[in-house]
């Protein structure tokens, strides 16, 4: 017989009132007093304890009624007729095992009817000599019985209150374990922040002092604090031509002596039209105008990429040091707040390319 068909027959035969006899009634309350705190299944069944209402024989009679009602109706019988008594005894043993489980009603409901049925089958003596159909029937009937029993548990006046108490305790325990796990496991962003703090402190220490050559003062230090010795460089635009169109073209087409332009570039400039010269000159003026009369250490506030070129000793390395130190400090100098939150990396090219293995 299919399990669904067994459930249909049992429902039509009013299985509920039969199984309800297995349980005792209980008064209202949240079950917080010492007596209610031990709401084990053995205290909820009516066939255990000093004031038991059913005997084991009565439980077997209920099991026999369930088996008999599930066999009613037309169709193929669920198991061989000569195994009826053995199936009834096995079902009664499963129902009696309900009082042997070491759990309360809340835990039983949390298990679900299938797991509860497996617990009952494991706690009861294993039946011997049953056919495959009888074993399948017994497992299905036990699950249907557990489904109704759990339904009765959830309808008890104390169940909702106890469920809330258990849920609150479980949540508190989960929070405590989570907090302990967080405490024992350092956060990845915490490690990153600690490394960032140490790295910035290293940069400030490494680049925060400056050697000034040619200063011969008594008791002068070998290295000076960068924030004391640094003098800002100034960005200056190109000189304006006199404005005549032909001179503008000549200004681009005829570079000054010494300019290092490739022959291809020189040929391209000589063949450009006056309009192209003017457009190129206008673009150059706009670019140079953004640097004109600006402090060099503030140019990065308006430009994502800047190429810094200059002769030896013109202050290129010192400017890079100043930018790195300004970005690594908690308090930025005047006009350097745009560097806050940035991580500087100072990579001297001559050190990187000095040896083939570096």
What pLDDT, in 10s, does the model give residues 79-100?
888 999 999 999 999 999 998 8
Mean pLDDT of 169-198: 83
Residues 119 and 123: their CA atoms lie apart, in Å, by 6
Render 33-99 in DSSP notation, one character per residue: SHHHHT-BHHHHBTTSSTT-S--HHHHHHHHHHHHHHHT-SSS--SS-GGGHHHHHHHHHHHHHGGG
pLDDT value at 247 more than 60: no
The helix or strand, by DSSP H or E, that contains position 209, with its residue range, turns out to be: strand 209-210
Residues 110 and 154: their CA atoms lie apart, in Å, by 11
**β-pair partners for 105:** none
- According to DSSP, residue 104 is labeled B
State pLDDT tens for residues 259-269: 445 565 556 65
Residue 293 confidence (pLDDT): 56
Which of 3 and 250 is assigned the larger pLDDT? 3
Looking at the chain, how many residues does it have?
358
Residues 156 and 24: their CA atoms lie apart, in Å, by 10
pLDDT band (50, 70, 90) for residue 253? very low
Domains of the chain, residue spans: 3-177, 188-233+295-358, 237-292
Mean pLDDT of 172-192: 81
Residue 62 confidence (pLDDT): 92
State pLDDT tens for residues 146-167: 998 998 888 877 777 778 888 8
Predicted TM-score (pTM) of the model is 0.46
H helices, E strands: number in the chain: 17, 4
The residue assigned the tokens 């915490």 is 190
- According to DSSP, residue 125 is labeled P
Residue 356 confidence (pLDDT): 58
pLDDT band (50, 70, 90) for residue 135? very high
State pLDDT tens for residues 289-338: 555 557 788 888 888 888 888 888 888 888 888 888 888 877 777 778 88
State pLDDT tens for residues 12-53: 455 778 888 898 866 555 545 444 455 678 888 888 877 788
For the chain, what is the largest distance between any 2 Cα atoms, rounded to a whole number of angstroms?
122
């Amino acid at each position: 017989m299919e399990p669904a068909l067994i459930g249909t027959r049992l429902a039509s035969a009013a299985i509920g009132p039969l199984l309800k006899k297995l349980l005792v009634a209980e008064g209202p309350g949240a079950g917080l007093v010492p007596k209610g705190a031990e709401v084990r299944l053995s205290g909820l069944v009516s066939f255990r304890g000093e004031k038991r209402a059913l005997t084991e024989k009565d439980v077997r009679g209920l099991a026999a009624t369930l088996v008999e009602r599930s066999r009613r109706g037309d169709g193929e019988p669920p198991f061989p007729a000569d195994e009826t008594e053995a199936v009834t005894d096995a079902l009664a043993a499963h129902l009696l095992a309900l009082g042997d489980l070491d759990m309360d009603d809340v835990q039983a409901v949390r298990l679900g009817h299938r797991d509860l049925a497996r617990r009952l089958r494991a706690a009861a003596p294993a039946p011997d000599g049953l056919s495959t159909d009888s074993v399948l029937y017994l497992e299905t009937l036990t699950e249907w019985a557990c489904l109704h029993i759990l339904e009765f548990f959830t309808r008890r006046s104390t169940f909702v209150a106890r469920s809330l108490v258990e849920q609150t305790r479980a949540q508190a325990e989960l929070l405590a374990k989570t907090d302990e796990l967080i405490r024992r496991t350092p956060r990845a962003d915490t490690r990153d922040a600690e490394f960032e703090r140490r790295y910035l402190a290293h940069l400030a220490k490494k680049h925060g002092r400056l050697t000034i050559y040619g200063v011969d003062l008594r008791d002068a230090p070998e290295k000076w604090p960068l924030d004391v010795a640094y003098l800002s460089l100034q960005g200056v635009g190109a000189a304006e031509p006199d404005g005549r169109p032909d001179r503008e073209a000549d200004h681009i087409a005829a570079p000054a002596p010494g300019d290092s332009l490739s022959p291809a570039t020189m040929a391209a400039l000589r063949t450009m039209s006056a309009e192209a010269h003017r457009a190129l000159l206008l673009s150059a003026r706009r670019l140079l105008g953004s640097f004109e009369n600006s402090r060099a250490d503030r140019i990065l506030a308006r430009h994502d990429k800047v190429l810094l070129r200059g002769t030896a000793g013109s202050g290129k390395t010192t400017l890079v040091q100043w930018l790195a130190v300004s970005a690594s400090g908690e308090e930025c100098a005047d006009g350097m707040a745009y560097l806050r939150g940035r991580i500087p990396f100072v990579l001297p090219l001559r050190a990187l390319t000095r040896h083939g293995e570096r």
